[in-house]
């Protein structure tokens, strides 16, 4: 996807007449169309492919779409933009419900003594979640929803009276994202160790900035290697923490469903220890960055 984003950005710049700088309004479709096509393809694949990878790709593609609509928020109707981003979040959550079970199963597999008895029940619960995810995505008619969203936004931007140079626009949105990340990192560095929400905000802000750079890097002035290195560190450290927190919550929320499937208390005890360890690790990274 990152390589694809760079290619799209280069094509956007190269498609303009010599000496002409592309506008953000015109460039939007070149960013959005491939993402819409990919999301539709992954949504279709999930009907046949029950693997964790298929669901992960779908969820990521929808998150990227949501971030792209956020990137172009200043140029789009506020109400419609909010509605579209909510739609992408809803669809990503539908795919994510099954993906959360996959992550829990992968984590529990690390504790063989617990996994031996719990895994069958976890797999059964995962199967139920997959059926719900597929039904939700099928009923939503993802293909037409995404195509309509792309058509509507493209039409709005193409008929806009003003034009904003793409490079200027991209620099501003990346700067906004960088500022947001720094603000959340500062807040998290001062938060209590038990305040996961502030760490979660850092992760989300870091992911948003990464997407902005993937979208706009080909047209930005100067390199962003140092920023990308920091983002990779944040994504890895805070992502593993999020997996633990989400899995612990999922296990607690489904205690009745998993009754009799082994030592759930032992699994929760292990996840709690892992959460504390990874919180310390995430806090340590914040002090270094």
d(CA 271, CA 278): 10
* Residue 15 clears pLDDT 50, i.e. is over it: no
* Residue 9 clears pLDDT 90, i.e. is over it: no
pLDDT of residue 262: 64
Please give the full DSSP string across 203-267, using - where no structure is assigned.
Answer: HHHHHHHHHHHHHHGGGSSS--HHHHHHHHHHHHHHHHHHHHHHHHHHHHHTTTTTTTSS-HHHH
Instruction: Name the pTM for this structure.
Output: 0.86
Average pLDDT, the chain: 89
* Mutual angle of helices 24-48 and 142-158, in 10-degree steps: 180
* Residue 179 clears pLDDT 70, i.e. is over it: yes
23 phi and psi, to 5 degrees?
-95, 155
* Residue 153 clears pLDDT 90, i.e. is over it: yes
Tell me what the mean pLDDT of segment 253-260 comes to: 80
Tell me what the mean pLDDT of segment 265-277 comes to: 92
Tell me what the mean pLDDT of segment 215-221 comes to: 91
CA angle at residue 101 from 261 to 232, to 5 degrees? 135
d(CA 164, CA 26): 9
* Residue 17 clears pLDDT 50, i.e. is over it: no
**pLDDT category, 2, cuts 50, 70, 90?**
very low
Q: Domain 2-288 has what CATH class?
A: mainly alpha
User: How many CB atoms are closer than 10 A to CB 249?
Assistant: 13
* Residue 92 clears pLDDT 80, i.e. is over it: yes
* Residue 20 clears pLDDT 80, i.e. is over it: no
pLDDT of residue 210: 94
Task: Identify the weakest region by mean pLDDT among 115-124, 129-138, 170-179, 259-268.
Answer: 259-268
pLDDT of residue 52: 84
């Amino acid at each position: 996807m990152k390589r694809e984003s760079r290619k799209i950005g280069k094509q956007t710049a190269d498609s303009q007449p010599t000496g002409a700088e592309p506008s953000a309004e015109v460039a939007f479709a070149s960013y959005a169309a491939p993402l819409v096509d990919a999301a539709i393809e992954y949504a279709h694949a999930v009907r046949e492919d029950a693997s964790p990878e298929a669901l992960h790709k779908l969820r990521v593609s929808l998150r990227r779409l949501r971030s792209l609509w956020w990137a172009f928020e200043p140029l789009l109707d506020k109400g419609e933009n909010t509605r579209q981003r909510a739609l992408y979040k809803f669809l990503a959550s539908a795919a994510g419900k099954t993906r959360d079970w996959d992550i829990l199963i992968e984590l529990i597999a690390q504790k063989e003594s617990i996994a031996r008895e719990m895994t069958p029940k976890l797999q059964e619960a995962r199967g139920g979640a997959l059926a719900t995810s597929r039904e939700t995505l099928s009923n939503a008619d993802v293909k037409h929803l995404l195509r309509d969203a792309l058509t509507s936004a493209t039409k709005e931007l193409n008929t806009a009276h003003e034009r904003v140079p793409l490079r200027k626009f991209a620099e501003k949105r990346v700067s906004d994202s960088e500022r947001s990340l720094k603000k959340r990192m500062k807040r998290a560095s001062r938060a209590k160790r038990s305040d996961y929400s502030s760490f979660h905000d850092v992760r989300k802000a870091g992911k948003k900035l990464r997407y902005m750079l993937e979208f706009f890097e080909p047209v930005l002035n100067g390199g962003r290697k140092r920023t990308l290195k920091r983002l990779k560190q944040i994504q890895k450290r805070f992502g593993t923490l999020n997996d633990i927190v989400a899995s612990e919550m999922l296990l607690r929320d489904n205690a009745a469903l998993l009754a009799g499937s082994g030592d759930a208390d032992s699994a929760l005890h292990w996840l709690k220890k892992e959460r504390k360890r990874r919180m310390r690790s995430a806090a340590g990274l914040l002090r270094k960055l």
